[in-house]
A and B are shown apart, each in its own frame.
Chain A
């Protein structure tokens, strides 16, 4: 087992004698207290799971939609790859698309992995390498993804560091494959995409495990606290510190300083994007202001007295935006310094004085303890003066400015969602702000309309002014991230999930690049939660899901249980908490089916693919991180649906329902090759509308292993949702019927007619596997 240990002591008095300057390096330590046998692929290299990848990729064909027909990555080019042309390096357009998909997965993986490395190193420094990793009560199988991939069960921060080291090596390999003159086959690029996704899952798991263990987060707690959320929840009587990004370390230093000085009545902290979840996991008095797309609107409101950015998904023009509203800004991560002067080594009072006086607009401070004190002191000092300032134009001023609109349509052309921005501006000319208010509701906050406007209108700000009353009403209670799913919860639902009686586990994750506002995420989650699917969520999707109230004024988190059970809605936390969702599927294999996890990736992925009716939905997927997160689920055989903007990932993974060869599997009991239903039909799919996403979600939870009762329940929901959104009885139900018991009783007549029409033949319910070695007796 690849595990390095290092020990250093200035002086050591031992039975062997006294040592000075003792340093001991041990190349390999075997975790001999763990009696689970090692599987075939501990710490796999990029090609070790290639055979499994090819099984998936033979079933789910990459469908490429080139975003560009040229390659401009090296000085041979630009090379025109249109038609059947090849570039100077020999690459064709298909391989080039796969290469770009791999580049995206690598970028996403690297962001999480660098985050994990920073957290682990920082926490080792703070708490020591032997600090125990604890996922929470009722969890024997902690870090299931790491166990599955590496064959290690990380028990200390030192173990975590070793695992991150393995991931870093793998990422170097998969990244290098994108270099000119390396990989040349689309199939192998795609295999490496899956590898990068798997490595990403490990890195994220380690990051979250490390912070859960050391920073006082909820530990696998279904009743993690409900916390305040929304722009209207921020108390402007206090000094406000806005934190943006994903890495809690600087934000935690701020809340710790506030707690230590007992000044919570004077200053408060709100977060955006995943930092929001992680600060509220540590300190429930902090607030979740909103998802990634709320950054500009909140900075521009001027309500934040200090802006602190860490890493990932930060609006990279934040320095200029903060400057416009005279809010000092502090960057804290070596990944996102933002051009600010490095004041890390300067005395705190000197930094505070320069930021408060406006001598400098902002500072880069990588000493996180210093960030806490500086941010709080500056916020308190600038607040009185800033509260007297107004930053948004009045409606009267907007009306006047709008009169000069050139009607060029450039704002609409720049809008990713084709919003009627120009019409809204023309309405504002006559004092009608309702259209601008409507645009606000669907706005993703990119401000491309402003960049395009020849009059330099601050159009995004105008929308916020028009929707001011809506902003003030943005007051919600959302459940902060609970972390992992407990083993006992898995034990309770493992069987009904595998047999199909709990119809599915739906994970709403990812960014906020929504085609028509965040309410869609809530509506999709509610559609399935009320049907007793289990809904899990994380990241910006989890924020948007909570930003809708029912008729009683409650959010989905207030009215639904946080337990991993039918009808529950569970927020696991931030982006790096996503492996808890994968981990739940993995633990079903371990707990319910008693499969070994240790270094046993292909067998467990095969189990999940054939048995666990899980579907990921990332309705606002935007980033490369979302791409790598999705890739991690694909390798486990879990299908992922993205919103229409996800088509820009330029490659889908699609099955063909009628392609019998693709849906023929082994029966593990007999070794026979048996035709199964096309389930799940696709592995990666961009849905055009909520209607399509809902219909597809209901279909993609179907698995070959469903019992008759389970299949019948799943089909009932599929048919009902299909009729609701498409207006007719689906014509492919017959494909999912193996024998009479699969037929929902109330729909029997219609289904029997469809079966007859399609010359349906009865099939056995089998023990399905794609892996020959899983056949009893080893398939020999």
Chain B
């Protein structure tokens, strides 16, 4: 599908994300990023990926990129159940607020961040979170990794078919040296 907001009414302003159709296009941003952060929402718990779910994918991505995770909306419980200690819990709206601060060190104290990867928050809520980042967190490169287009990110998948989406997620993991 075209890179248009997944929920029909959620159109944005003059600026819009670039369509991400190949993992390789992220190489430059990922290489440049010194302090990335992965934000994972509650829906990641129920979205399947490969033999696991999108929480497993977050764990793999986090390990590959040595990237701390913030789990929102109670997703932390699943991270902990899977024995992963690299995630901290925060609310999505708290994350939206704190990311506007270029000096914010984050819950693990490993910031300030220069890039976020994000997925799994209800579409419209992630849309608003990313709007805060785009307008007031301009020090950040935002990459949305949901299947549906998030116009307020710098990069976002363009409403992908499910199969294609999971393939490109695996490509991304491979790109950062994970998934082996």
Q: Is the interface of A mostly helix, strand, loop or mixed?
A: mixed
- Give the chain A neighbours of B92 by CB distance below 8 A: 647, 686, 688
Partner of A418, one of B80, B122, B136: B122
Tell me whether A416 and B74 are in contact (CB under 8 A): no
- In the complex, A485 has a CB within 8 A of chain B: no
- In the complex, B91 has a CB within 8 A of chain A: yes
Contact with B along A409-450 (1 / 0, CB 8 A): 010011110100000000000000000000000000000000
A61–B80 CA distance with the chains assembled, in angstroms: 31
Partner of A688, one of B73, B81, B100, B138: B73
Tell me whether A647 and B124 are in contact (CB under 8 A): yes
A67–B100 CA distance with the chains assembled, in angstroms: 16
Tell me whether A688 and B42 are in contact (CB under 8 A): yes
- In the complex, A66 has a CB within 8 A of chain B: yes
A70–B14 CA distance with the chains assembled, in angstroms: 8
- Identify which of residues 65-97 in chain B touch chain A, using a CB-to-CB cut-off of 8 Å: 72-74, 76-77, 80-81, 89, 91-94, 96-97
- In the complex, B21 has a CB within 8 A of chain A: no
- In the complex, A652 has a CB within 8 A of chain B: yes
A82–B14 CA distance with the chains assembled, in angstroms: 8
Q: How far is the CB of B1 from chain A (nearest CB, A)?
A: 8
- Give the chain B neighbours of A515 by CB distance below 8 A: 122
- Give the chain A neighbours of B13 by CB distance below 8 A: 66, 68-70, 80, 82
Of B24-32, B55-63, B127-135, B164-172, the stretch lying at the interface with chain A is B127-135
Residue of A nearest to B132 (CB): A65
Tell me whether B72 and A688 are in contact (CB under 8 A): yes
User: Would A65 and B128 be within 8 Å (CB), given that A416-B7, A654-B97, A692-B91 are in contact?
Assistant: yes
Tell me whether B7 and A685 are in contact (CB under 8 A): no
Contact with B along A702-730 (1 / 0, CB 8 A): 00000000000000000000000111100
- In the complex, A650 has a CB within 8 A of chain B: yes
User: Would A93 and B135 be within 8 Å (CB), given that A66-B13, A80-B14, A413-B8 are in contact?
Assistant: yes
- Identify which of residues 123-180 in chain B touch chain A, using a CB-to-CB cut-off of 8 Å: 123-125, 128-129, 131-132, 135-136, 138
- In the complex, A314 has a CB within 8 A of chain B: no
- Give the chain A neighbours of B41 by CB distance below 8 A: 688
User: Would A652 and B8 be within 8 Å (CB), given that A63-B100, A65-B128 are in contact?
Assistant: no
Residue of A nearest to B138 (CB): A83
Tell me whether A685 and B132 are in contact (CB under 8 A): no
A260–B137 CA distance with the chains assembled, in angstroms: 65
User: Would A686 and B93 be within 8 Å (CB), given that A64-B136, A691-B73, A727-B76 are in contact?
Assistant: yes
Q: How far is the CB of A626 from chain B (nearest CB, A)?
A: 17
Tell me whether A644 and B74 are in contact (CB under 8 A): no
- Identify which of residues 71-102 in chain A touch chain B, using a CB-to-CB cut-off of 8 Å: 80, 82-83, 93
Tell me whether B135 and A69 are in contact (CB under 8 A): yes
Tell me whether B124 and A61 are in contact (CB under 8 A): no
- Give the chain B neighbours of A728 by CB distance below 8 A: 76-77, 80, 89
- In the complex, A687 has a CB within 8 A of chain B: yes
Interface centre among A68, A413, A652, A686 (most CB of B within 10 A): A413
- Give the chain A neighbours of B135 by CB distance below 8 A: 64-66, 69, 82-83, 93
- Give the chain B neighbours of A414 by CB distance below 8 A: 7-9
User: Would A69 and B93 be within 8 Å (CB), given that A63-B132, A410-B8, A725-B77 are in contact?
Assistant: no
Query: Could you write out 20 A-B pairs with CB less than 8 Å apart?
Result: A63-B97, A63-B100, A63-B132, A64-B132, A64-B136, A68-B12, A69-B13, A414-B8, A418-B7, A452-B8, A644-B124, A647-B124, A650-B131, A685-B91, A686-B92, A688-B41, A691-B42, A691-B77, A727-B76, A727-B80
Closest 6 CB pairs of A and B: A69-B13, A688-B73, A691-B74, A727-B77, A63-B97, A65-B128
Give 19 new A-B contacts, CB below 8 A, not counting A82-B13, A418-B7, A688-B125: A63-B97, A64-B135, A65-B135, A66-B13, A80-B13, A83-B135, A418-B122, A452-B8, A648-B124, A650-B128, A650-B131, A652-B93, A654-B97, A688-B91, A691-B74, A692-B91, A695-B74, A696-B91, A727-B80
